[in-house]
Amino acid sequence: MALNITDPWFVTDLKFDVESKRLDVYVDFKKGSTFSYEYVEYKTETKKETIDGKEKEIKTKIEIGRETFDNLKAYDTVNKTWRHLNFFEHECYIHARVPRVKLPNGKTKLIKTPWEGISNGFTLLFEALLMQLCMAMPVNKVASLVKVSDDKLWTMIDRYASKTRVHENFENIKSIGLDETSRAKGHDYITLFVDLKERRTLFITEGKDNSTVKRFVEDLEAHNGKAESIEEVSVDMSPAFKKGIDENLPDAQVIYDKFHIIKHINDAVNKVRIAETVEDKILKGTRYVFLKNEDNLTKKQKEKLEELTMPNMNLKTLRAYNIKTAFQDIYKAESEDEFITYLNKWYFWATHSRLEPIKEVAYMIKRHWDGIVSWYNNKINNGILEGLNSIIQATKSKARGYKTFRNYKNIVYLLTGKLDFSLINNKFREI
């Protein structure tokens, strides 16, 4: 029972080696037993995609038929071994001769035993443990801990992620956020699409151009979703994303993410500070004093800010900083009319500030006015996505980057996708 071995299978022998810290379990099946086999037929489709100006060939495996055959007798057998959960500190392996059966279509296939996982050489329970470990620590550390190659673990994660995503249902998705992030330093970008209500990653694709939205919609519709069901999209002010949304999600209201807007304003404040530092050395080393929110400043940084706000200080950087904090206060408005009034006053102040970086960001905000104002009635933003992204970045740092897009994509799904692996492996319900 502990090994998930059921009729017609039975244990024939146990070998326990104390010195090598290993338990081997030998299993066989009763003579004359019959078996079932589910035959699935696939075809591979190849299409070319242009991602950030580069043409790539994308291969997709598509199921075209499925049939279950019962009462099949063994044609011959193949000896196989699976790694199982440790028996205390001892490694445990299951060995069995596994029947091959001949199908009515003439093909000979190896049956699936009740204890094996979806990876070659692992039991279901051992895979369930490995997946939990990979969620908690870097994959290469898990590989070292259980003495398995990290390539084999990545293959296992890929199979679980891809097979589980087949069962995903995006029928009720209405509010999404999207943002790009780098896969590793100096590497290509990927774009994440997030369900803002359920706080989970829905889709990951290469690139950060308008075609990313087209690929998201294709994936959405492949999982029972509809483009016209997407009501709100929280996004930064990327022209490429806006173009992709207009072309592929025509019924969605674009809401410009306030965190990205404030990031642009922060960049403008920093440009003012850098230019003024040439004239006034008191600003040297004060970057984070002006970039952080006041509540997040350290004691030393607060003291420095108080020093810079003294009446005799007439700093351009301080004016830029005050304009930034005033913009943040706009989001405290108690009505849409109040929000628009504050935004208009802020725009007048910013464009008459005689601070070129601040004026430039104000003009950019004017160009995206409707998407910024629409925030008030929806109050959605990419803060959730930023939180998920911080998890991804922390993991990327620990793993020192990922060699392939496949691995990066799968670790993101594993950590932030809330995938229900029990859909393909019921052992996940048991741990």
Radius of gyration of the chain (CA): 29
Tell if the pTM clears 0.85, that is, is over it. Answer: no
Measured between its terminal Cα atoms, the distance across the chain in Å is 16
Q: What is the rounded CA–CA span in Å between residue 327 and residue 372?
A: 12
189-195 and 200-206: which strand pairing? Answer: antiparallel
In contact, 197 and 174? CB cutoff 8 Å: yes
- pLDDT values of the chain reduced to their tens digit, one per residue, 431 residues: 777 788 899 999 999 999 999 999 999 999 999 999 998 888 888 877 777 677 777 777 787 888 999 999 999 999 999 999 998 889 999 999 999 999 998 999 999 999 998 888 999 999 999 999 998 888 889 999 998 998 999 999 999 999 899 889 999 999 999 988 877 666 678 899 999 889 899 999 998 999 999 999 999 999 999 999 999 999 988 899 999 999 999 899 999 988 889 999 999 999 998 888 887 777 777 776 776 777 777 777 777 777 677 665 678 888 898 999 999 999 999 999 999 999 999 999 999 999 999 999 999 999 999 999 988 888 877 677 777 777 777 766 665 557 788 888 898 899 889 998 887 766 555 54
d(CA 220, CA 205): 13
What gap in Å lies between CA 335 and CA 351, rounded to an integer?
24
Residue type, 206: E
**Distance (Å, rounded) from C-alpha 156 to C-alpha 410?**
10
Question: Which DSSP state fits 137?
Answer: S
